Amino acid sequence: MPHRLSDARHRTGRRADGLHRLLTGLVLPTTAALALALTTTGATVPADAPAQASPVVRRAQAQAQDHARAQAELAASRAAAAQRAALADARAEAAQRAARASRRTALQARQRAAALARARAWRLPIRHYTLTSGFGHRWGRLHAGNDFAAPIGSRLVAMSTGTVTFAGAQSGYGTKVEIRYWDGTVSYYGHMNRVTARVGQKVAPGTLVGYSGNTGHSTGPHLHLEIHPHGRGPVDPRPWLRGHRLRP
Considering only 2-6, 56-60, 111-115, 225-229, which range has the smallest mean pLDDT? Answer: 2-6
Mean pLDDT within 233-242: 97
Q: Of residues 126 and 40, which shows the higher confidence score?
A: 126
Q: Of residues 65 and 138, which shows the higher confidence score?
A: 65
Distance CA 79, CA 69 (A): 15
Is the pLDDT reported for residue 50 higher than 90?
no
Give me the pLDDT at residue 2, please: 46
Is the pLDDT reported for residue 37 higher than 50?
no
Is the pLDDT reported for residue 3 higher than 80?
no
Largest Cα–Cα distance in the chain?
Answer: 201
pLDDT band at 17 (very low <50, low <70, confident <90, very high): low
Distance CA 121, CA 205 (A): 7
Strand locations in 127-216, DSSP E?
A: 130-133, 136-138, 141-143, 146-149, 155-157, 162-170, 174-181, 186-195, 202-203, 208-212
**What contacts 192, CB < 8 A, 6 or more positions away?**
156, 174, 175, 176, 177, 210, 211, 212, 213, 215, 223
Q: In sequence order, which ranges of the chain are alpha helices (DSSP H)?
A: 2-41, 55-119, 237-243
Give me the pLDDT at residue 14, please: 52
Percent of the chain with pLDDT over 70: 79
Q: Half-sphere exposure (CA, 13 Å, Cβ side) for 108?
A: 6
Q: What does the pLDDT look like over 131-170, one tens digit per residue? A: 999 999 988 899 999 999 999 999 999 999 999 999 999 9
Q: Name the residue among 225, 220, 245, 246 with its Cα closest to residue 235.
A: 225
Mean pLDDT within 107-120: 95
Mean pLDDT within 88-116: 95
- From the CB of residue 127, how many other CB atoms can be counted at a distance below 10 Å? 12
Mean pLDDT within 112-140: 94
